[in-house]
């Protein structure tokens, strides 16, 4: 671990003296994992034939924290990088339900 923060190829390397900065600037591995999971989720959503796109699923992030979440086999498929079909389970609060319905159309 590097004692001070510096940059390496445009990506910040955070050492033990700069922990709070790692929240603001995720490490390259974190960004790569996030991108990989988003691409995989996009494939799962396309394969599901539900009409839900990756863009519309990502718009759920604009809702209040904890008011909507995608669960079930669709997330497992995205994490494993596999496709076996099925539905897309979206759990939502009553207040967020109208927004979620508009995403899934």
**20-32 pLDDT, tens digit each:** 555 577 899 999 9
Instruction: Establish if 10 belongs to a structural domain.
Output: no
Q: Which of 40-44, 68-72, 96-100 has the highest mean pLDDT?
A: 40-44
Instruction: Establish if 79 belongs to a structural domain.
Output: yes
Helix (H) or strand (E) holding 31: helix 28-48
Q: Between these two residues, 14 and 72, which has the higher pLDDT value?
A: 72
- Report the number of distinct structural domains present in the chain: 1
CA-CA-CA-CA dihedral for 51, 30, 60, 81, to nearest 10: 20
Instruction: Establish if 16 belongs to a structural domain.
Output: no
Does residue 1 register a pLDDT over 50?
Answer: no
User: Measured between alpha carbons, how far is 33 from 28 in angstroms, rounded to an integer?
Assistant: 9
* Three-state DSSP state, 33: helix
User: Measured between alpha carbons, how far is 97 from 68 in angstroms, rounded to an integer?
Assistant: 8
Instruction: Establish if 87 belongs to a structural domain.
Output: yes
Tokens at 64, concatenated: 């209040």
Residue among 102, 53, 45, 49 at smallest CA distance from 74: 45
Instruction: Establish if 73 belongs to a structural domain.
Output: yes
Tokens at 84, concatenated: 């076996």
Instruction: Establish if 86 belongs to a structural domain.
Output: yes
Residue 69: domain span: 29-103
Flag whether the pTM goes above 0.75: no
Instruction: Establish if 8 belongs to a structural domain.
Output: no
Instruction: Establish if 4 belongs to a structural domain.
Output: no
């Amino acid at each position: 671990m590097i004692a001070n923060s510096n940059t390496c190829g445009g990506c910040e390397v955070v050492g033990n003296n700069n922990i709070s900065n790692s929240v603001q600037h995720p490490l390259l591995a974190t960004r790569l994992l996030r991108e990989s999971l988003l691409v995989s989720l996009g494939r799962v959503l396309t394969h599901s034939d539900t009409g839900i796109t990756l863009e519309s699923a990502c718009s759920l992030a604009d809702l209040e924290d904890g008011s909507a979440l995608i669960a079930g086999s669709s997330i497992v498929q995205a994490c494993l990088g596999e496709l076996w079909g099925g539905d897309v389970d979206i759990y939502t609060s009553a207040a967020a339900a109208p927004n979620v319905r508009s995403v899934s159309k």
